[in-house]
Structure formats: C-alpha cells, structure tokens
Structure 1
C-alpha cells in the first residue's frame, strides 16, 4: 500500500447559512456545524483510504466565533496521520460575511475515522506523509493526541460502565430503577 501526501485527501465544503440552520440568536446551530465537520472529515478520510469509513471519535470542538445567518461556512479537512486502520483528520471551519469579506476561523477539530473492509470490520489504510510546515506540525503532534484519545476512551468506557443503561442512576431516587 503506497503512502499518500496529506494534501491528497484535502476536502473543501462551503455552505450558505440559511434561516433553518440557525438558532434563536440568528447563529448557526452548534450541532449543524458539527454535522458539517463530521461530513467533511468522512469525505477526506474516504478519499485517503478509498474505503468506507466511520467516525471513531471527535476531539473537543470549541466554538470560537459565531456563524451568522447569511454568512458562509467553509470547512477544510485533510488526513494528518494514520495508524493501522485509523486516520486522524484535521478540520478547520471559516466563517465569512459575504458582504464585508470578513473571515474568521470559527472552529478547529480533530476526528478519528476508521476504514472498513468488505466485511464491515476495520481494515488497514495507507500511511500519510506531510509536506508543508503546517502539515508537519500536525503530523508530529498526532501520536500525543492519539494517546490522549486512548486515555479519554478508557475513561468514557468506565463512565458508561458506572452509569449503566438505566435512569436515574441513583437507586435511592424517588423514581426507583424504572428506566421509563
């Protein structure tokens, strides 16, 4: 399997922010932006692996600036690092006021995508190599981010085990253990 440059997976998606995409403040719903992020990351990962992919994790998403109704949101994504069956994808979202031309980076995120084989099980992906200064910076930091994700996943599994599937979790609650 030949290695590929980061730029080979570059995916760009621009959308106009319309009234149904916004909340009561006239800004893009956070969940709508997260859906755009997941979509563009999946396209970049699929472009790299040339196989179907699923989202394994999304690192924290910080909303740095609001995206206003009438603005555009432009997302850029590319694979920064690979590890056997998984790919780290960097996503940058830029909001633009089309009337003034003002642009701001409103969000950055890292997602981990896993490639699937014909049996719907994880399958190997090509290695990726950085070329630009920015790609090298992201590539070099990826093993540390992967280790942090691994620890966070371990903690999430423990939390899921502790809380279980019932609600509420406190058996002494006035609601009892009835999940309905």
Structure 2
C-alpha cells in the first residue's frame, strides 16, 4: 500500500470561536469546565479529521489545566493544530483564549493536547498522512510531542512497577501529614 503524501501543519489548523452564554455557567458563575472540554474535543476532531481526511476519535487527553476562569459574555477561541503524527494517531495541540468583548482584554485560559486516531468506515484504524514541518515552531511542537509521549510511557511503566512492588505496611509512613485517616484493621 502506497503511503499518503505529507500534509503541512497549516492545512489543518482550525479555529472554533463561541460566545459564552449564561446557560454554560456553573454554580460559581464561571463557565463550566465541561463546556470547555466539549469545545476542545470538537476542535480536536475537526483539526485531526482535516489532516487525516477521514473520521477521527479521541483516545486520550493530556493535561487540561484551567489556568484562568472564563466568564459569561467572553468570546472563547480554540485554535488547534496537528503537532505530531504516528502511523494512525495524531496529537492535536489546542490553545484556548477568552476575549472580553467590551474591554478587548484577551487571556490565555487553557492549553491541552488531544491524541486522536483515524478510522476507516468499518471502524479499523487508518493510516494518516505524514506531517510536513514548515517552520521552526512546527519542529519544536513535533519534538515536544515526542518528549511528552516518552514521559507518558515512563510514567505508566513506573506506576505499573509501583503497583506490583507496593508493600502497604512499609509505605504507611508516607501517610503522615496527609489528610486521611485509617479505620479498621483490614490492611492485610
């Protein structure tokens, strides 16, 4: 099977902009994080699908840190670009900004990375075009994606090792100073 030609990052850059309305607010009067996550998922899908030329699904979301709150009335813009491609997967970087339309103030509220995979109509994985890196920024983002992938794999491996080698009795001292209590004698 012949490999698809590479596509430049610029061909799939996608921006989604939406006005934040009162029904999007949480009990604290700020925009609910779930609304923002839903918008991020939509823009990641659009960006990945433009690059892949087919249906894509979300397989993981890395670090959604809510840096600043989003207010009712803000105009939220989510800019997405493909930062990395594997054989069937793509990492889409998303930058979220909120603009106060009356003052013109723009604040960076979120950055996140969505890993997407491309699918054939029958649901099987589909190969994606390679990524044509046209700028230093494109190269930096691709390399950072590789580093995040390496760190994620190292973390998973270390966590699995910790699960298999964890001896509760030997680790109880780590609970000192933590906000927890142990009740009962069922530690064995």
- Residue 48 of structure 1 is matched in structure 2 by 51
Matches within 5 A, 1:1-180: 1-151=4-154
CA distance in 2: counterparts of 1:88 and 1:39, whole angstroms? 14
Structure 1 stretches lacking a partner, 5+ long: 160-172, 174-180
SS in 1 for 2:34: helix
SS in 1 for 2:103: coil
SS in 2 for 1:62: coil
Bigger Rg, which one: 2
CA distance in 2: counterparts of 1:51 and 1:150, whole angstroms? 27
RMSD of aligned alpha carbons: 2.1
Contact 1:11 1:78 in 2 (8 A): yes
CA deviation after TM superposition for structure 1 residue 26, in Å: 1.8
CA distance in 1: counterparts of 2:110 and 2:33, whole angstroms? 10
Number of residue equivalences = 161
Contact 1:81 1:139 in 2 (8 A): yes
Contact 1:81 1:129 in 2 (8 A): no
CA distance in 1: counterparts of 2:27 and 2:119, whole angstroms? 39
Contact 1:5 1:129 in 2 (8 A): yes
1:34-81, Cα deviation, whole Å (9 max, x unpaired): 111111001000000011111010001011111100111100001111
SS in 1 for 2:23: helix
